Structure formats: structure tokens, C-alpha cells
């Protein structure tokens, strides 16, 4: 259901999903790559670890091909997450009106789903961190550098209302 005061969107819904997903994937990695590098994890291994969710331990012996697969997998997951938010905002316009709050709440939800559902059900063989500072960093990245950009792109390019 669209707000009765909606005006023309800058982009169509599919274009908004694609742009929001790509922006979220890139912005998140712009933060994650330097953080992981400081922890001694080079980008190749970072992207292989994403691929390991599908390939298991074989991802770490797959070289650049596995890393590229991990990058593509990250992009697909980001586009799916953006799609969920963008389509939800068509049902609940408050997600557009209160885009900062909505983005942060969505980031918390994405963090919980990824941490407690997706990763445990995947083929990853590494143990997620139990160190509070790293958990807090991961949580903050999901809020501010993943979901908030999705919400901001959606507000800019998606449904426009008299309150936007």
C-alpha cells in the first residue's frame, strides 16, 4: 500500500533495490576491509571467508576465484537485503518517513538474522568471534554502513511522499 500523498519516485522499485544493494555492499566493504586488515585478515581471505559460507573449507584453497565468488555472494546478499527493505517500505511508508530510525532498526535485524540464522546454517567452518569489541564493531557496521545506506538510497530514489 502506497501513501495516498505519494509523488513520483526518482527510480522504479527494481532500480531502487539494485542501487541500494550495490551501495550497501560497497559501503560496508569500505569499512570492513580496513578493519579486517588491521586484524591481520587480507582482503583475499576476507572474501574467501564469505565464499566459505557456500563452499566450506574449499573456499580457502580456491584462490582468487573463491574470493571473487565471495564478493559476488556478498553483493547478492546485499541486493536481497535491500529488496526486503525497499518492498517493505512500499507497504509501510513510515520506513521512508523515518528513514534513519528505520535503517538502524533494520540493521539490527539484519545483524541478528545473519549472526544467528544465516551463518550457523551455512557451510562456514570458522567460529564467530566472542570478543565484545569485535561484536560491537560488527553490529555497528550492520547498522551504520549496511542498512542505513539502504534506507537512505530508498528514501532518495524510491517512494516520495509529502513527508519525504
The pTM score is 0.89
pLDDT given for residue 8 in this prediction: 56
pLDDT of residue 96: 93
User: Across the strands, what pairs with 7?
Assistant: 160
Beta bridge partners of 160: 7
**For the chain, which ranges sit under pLDDT 70?**
1-9, 158-164
CA pair distance 100, 113, nearest whole angstrom: 20
pLDDT, position 129: 87
Q: Is 40 left (phi over 0), alpha (psi -120 to 50) or beta?
A: left
pLDDT at 42: 98
The number of helix segments (H) and strand segments (E) in the chain equals 8, 0
Contacts 24+ apart (CB under 8 A), 142-146: 142/107, 142/108, 142/110, 142/111, 142/114, 143/103, 143/104, 143/107, 143/108, 143/111, 144/104, 144/107, 145/27, 145/28, 145/30, 145/31, 145/32, 146/24, 146/27, 146/28, 146/78, 146/81, 146/107, 146/110
Amino acid at each position: 500500500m502506497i501513501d495516498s500523498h505519494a509523488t513520483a519516485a526518482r527510480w522504479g522499485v527494481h532500480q531502487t533495490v539494485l542501487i541500494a544493494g550495490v551501495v550497501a555492499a560497497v559501503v560496508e566493504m569500505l569499512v570492513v576491509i580496513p578493519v579486517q586488515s588491521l586484524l591481520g585478515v587480507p582482503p583475499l581471505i576476507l572474501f574467501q571467508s564469505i565464499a566459505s559460507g557456500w563452499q566450506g573449507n574449499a573456499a580457502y584453497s580456491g584462490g582468487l576465484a573463491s574470493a571473487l565468488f565471495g564478493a559476488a555472494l556478498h553483493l547478492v546478499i546485499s541486493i536481497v537485503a535491500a529488496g526486503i527493505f525497499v518492498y517493505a517500505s512500499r507497504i509501510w511508508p513510515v520506513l521512508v518517513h523515518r528513514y534513519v530510525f528505520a535503517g538502524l532498526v533494520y540493521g539490527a535485524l539484519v545483524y541478528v538474522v545473519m549472526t544467528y540464522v544465516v551463518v550457523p546454517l551455512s557451510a562456514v567452518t570458522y567460529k564467530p568471534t566472542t570478543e565484545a569489541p569485535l561484536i560491537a564493531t560488527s553490529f555497528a557496521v550492520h547498522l551504520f554502513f549496511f542498512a542505513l545506506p539502504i534506507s537512505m538510497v530508498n528514501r532518495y530514489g524510491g517512494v516520495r511522499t509529502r513527508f519525504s
